[in-house]
Amino acid sequence: MEILKLHVDSIEKSLDNQKILKDIYLSCETGEIVGILGRNGSGKSTLLKIIFGTMTSENKFVRVGTKVIKKISDNKNLIHYLPQNHFLPNHIKVKSLIALLCTSENAVILKTNELIKRFLNQKTQNLSEGEKRLVEILIMLFSDCKFLILDEPFHSLSPKIIEEIKNLIKGQCKDKGIIITDHQYKNIIEISDKTILLKEGSTKIINGIEDLKKFGYLRFD
């Protein structure tokens, strides 16, 4: 299988006359999981929205393979994005959403998954917050794309479900590149091939817990 690379470079973003992202660079290849950590307000979600194209910036360069991504319509079947807020329409059954967003092969696989089977004939408006989040994650993981951006996917999920989702993320990474951010740093470090800390508008490469302490993300014991 051909390896594709998502190349993100020169991202700059200011809010309220304060630069929160300064010449950000990162990359992700198909078959790779890239974790992004950072405190509240560090710009993680802003960065992900800029990469996907739902937020503007003063400067950015995003490329998948040889294709430069200039607007959100360029993302079709290339980059998909799971935002923090719910995004699936309420009036459509879960099984119809699967058919809409997944390849026929992946749709068959997903519909047999025990985590989602009981929701197939329900509309998302009838699901709890945690159930909606679970359905959204599963559909995005099996959706037809080359790169997947997950913004705090574990929110509202039980520890048991989180472990199952982490295994699915690692499994789906065989076919796509995944960028993931979450406040539960141990989960991110555990599943990521490389981890980046966003601090004061810049990125720091993280090789373990000690680096998170060194850069002030975690306190020393």
38's tokens: 């950072």
**Predicted pLDDT of residue 195:** 96
Domain ranges of the chain: 5-214
**Predicted pLDDT of residue 11:** 95
Q: Tell me the whole-structure pTM to 2 decimals.
A: 0.94
**Reported CATH class of domain 5-214:** alpha beta
Mean pLDDT of 153-169: 93
* Mean pLDDT of the chain, nearest integer: 92
Mean pLDDT of 62-84: 91
Tens-place pLDDT, residues 170-195: 999 988 999 999 988 999 999 999 99
Q: Does position 85 have pLDDT exceeding 70, yes or no?
A: yes
User: pLDDT confidence of 1, banded at 50, 70, 90?
Assistant: low
**Predicted pLDDT of residue 206:** 94
**Predicted pLDDT of residue 221:** 53
Tens-place pLDDT, residues 34-72: 999 999 888 999 999 999 999 999 999 999 999 999 888
Mean pLDDT of 10-22: 91
